[in-house]
Structure 1
């Protein structure tokens, strides 16, 4: 027993170390990538305020660092939210959008752009509006599920319904005010383009609060994955435990979506890869999901940057959400086929 536990802990430390090194290397490469290439060594020197050339510090600190910081943090938040939802529903196909928060955030942005005069002249308010929309949809879900007393399958179904209704409402408003379509589309798909320090200042306080809360839910997640009857026999208040996991997942999703938009599949793929690496224990899966998802979103944005370099202006505005969907959709189909084979 002790040997098995030590082996699992050693495996966990090994993968944490490897993925941390990968994330760090990708971060440095991501900062250096752009119309003006900066080598990894020059990036490190510029970040340390010892640039080889003065312009390198200006480019990195003012144009690239915010985007390179937002990508892994937002990816980690979505990955942790996905792991929480999968533990709550006991369904490996669950992802953060099932909370309805993503659709609520987009609906809030649509209302803001349509009804607020000169809304485009106040872009700094968009993340705040998106967050308020996400929190509003979270409250709607809380009311519809009678304080989350429904079974996990019913909870997922209601989340899909709330998302569908809010998405339909957003579409109706956009049809009537199609001049706002380009701005809203970036939020619907999810984008890291033109991110600045104000976006980072919006994201990190929510990450600082929500990520520790998510990690603290590990024990509850492990108990819920054993089933409702076992959880009750262990003295867990089932409704309170579900409520805790759902609210933290919604908070993580709202914080990420309020800055990067409704990026799909990151919160699905990251936890799945994490479980394949370290098993099903939430104490291992949750931090690993964050790390893997951070690497996934950063690598997806790396692809958009490379595409912009190769194809020029045609691909320079490619949203990162399009890349995650391109690779995430086949992965989702693979999971469906695999789950059907396991059920036979």
Structure 2
């Protein structure tokens, strides 16, 4: 008799290969489309020629290389980091509703960024100090949640509730800072919503080292995540240091989230949707779930930014039009998705 788990594993492995190829092809299409759209619409052929540095397309080459390519690369990197962080948090807490925004990591990073730009004279246009402050906020937040949630052998539910409470408290603190400094609300508010507007090579040069370091580390943590999904007792029985593994995974998720938030702001729900779609396709095994979550979420963020560029709103400084922040688009998608998941969990 064929073992059901073995059969399911082979099925998920086959789906991983097929859907992985499909996602890579889809990302290639979205990559070209994302670069092509803007105030000056380019054809796919013009985009490809510009990317290849065709000398007959000097104007198009300047648009693509100086303005649009860094934004597209940042969307791919930030999406992958947030998707992987969400998958790690869901595995560690064994809670399908967990994601960086709900567990306070994003709120902690944003609060530190707002404090830095408001009280220390930091620039919203970014320097090396900005992501460092965002990173510090994420690490401090996840450290506080871990100490409060598991210092007395608390369970995953307790950890999630504490994360929600801390996230709400940090968001309230951010709102108070914005109210006291209303003159700076235009430049700061985009960090609280999440936006890819105005992202250039400076931002890419900050995010890519974190991406190259933290994403492989996150993918290599799949074995520990699989053990924790079995439960603390089973994990200890097979020789896994539960508390150390959980702390390490939480730190990896915090670093991934803080790295992305420090560049694109608190883009909500994207780290919830991507891992759930990935889990439906490739199953619970973190060895497949983690890379697939990164791919799906990168695909979703690029697609959401394509949609956001078709919608414009007046900015606070003078009312000039600008594309809708991508965080608003993901919130419109994520809120109904979250309600659906919550109702499903209640049933």
Q: TM-score, normalised by structure 1?
A: 0.92
Q: Which residue is 1:156 aligned to?
A: 160
Partners of 1:96 and 1:213 in 2: CA distance: 18
Out of 169-178 and 33-42, give the one that drifted further.
169-178
Q: 1:220 to 1:331 in 2, by over 3 A?
A: same
Q: 1:330 to 1:340 in 2, by over 3 A?
A: same
Does 1:211 find its partner at 2:215? yes
Out of 132-141 and 164-173, give the one that drifted further.
132-141
1:326 aligned to which of 323, 326, 332: 332
Partners of 1:28 and 1:79 in 2: CA distance: 22
Q: Which residue is 2:316 aligned to?
A: none
Instruction: Give how far 1:158 is off.
Output: 2.0
Instruction: Give how far 1:317 is off.
Output: 3.2
Mark the runs of 5 or more structure 1 residues left unpaired by the alignment. Answer: none
Instruction: Give how far 1:277 is off.
Output: 0.7
**Residues 91-130 of structure 1 aligned to structure 2 (within 5 Å):** 91-117=95-121, 119-120=122-123, 123-124=126-127, 125-130=129-134
Partners of 2:169 and 2:264 in 1: CA distance: 22
Instruction: Give how far 1:5 is off.
Output: 4.5
Partners of 1:242 and 1:30 in 2: CA distance: 37
Instruction: Check whether the contact 2:150–2:159 (CA below 8 A) recurs between aligned residues.
Output: no
Q: 1:145 to 1:91 in 2, by over 3 A?
A: closer
Partners of 1:224 and 1:153 in 2: CA distance: 14
Partner of 1:150, secondary structure, is coil
Q: Which residue is 2:248 aligned to?
A: 244
Out of 107-116 and 245-254, give the one that drifted further.
107-116
Aligned residue pair count: 337
Mark the runs of 5 or more structure 2 residues left unpaired by the alignment. Answer: 314-318
Partners of 2:124 and 2:344 in 1: CA distance: 48
Partners of 2:25 and 2:329 in 1: CA distance: 23
Q: Which residue is 1:273 aligned to?
A: 277
Instruction: Give how far 1:172 is off.
Output: 1.8
Q: TM-score, normalised by structure 2?
A: 0.91
Partners of 1:96 and 1:286 in 2: CA distance: 15
Partners of 1:221 and 1:129 in 2: CA distance: 28
Instruction: Check whether the contact 1:42–1:52 (CA below 8 A) recurs between aligned residues.
Output: no
Instruction: Check whether the contact 1:147–1:239 (CA below 8 A) recurs between aligned residues.
Output: no
Q: Which residue is 2:29 aligned to?
A: 25
**Residues 286-301 of structure 1 aligned to structure 2 (within 5 Å):** 286-301=290-305
Q: Which residue is 2:138 aligned to?
A: 134
Instruction: Give how far 1:263 is off.
Output: 0.4
Q: 1:122 to 1:148 in 2, by over 3 A?
A: farther
Q: Which residue is 1:229 aligned to?
A: 233
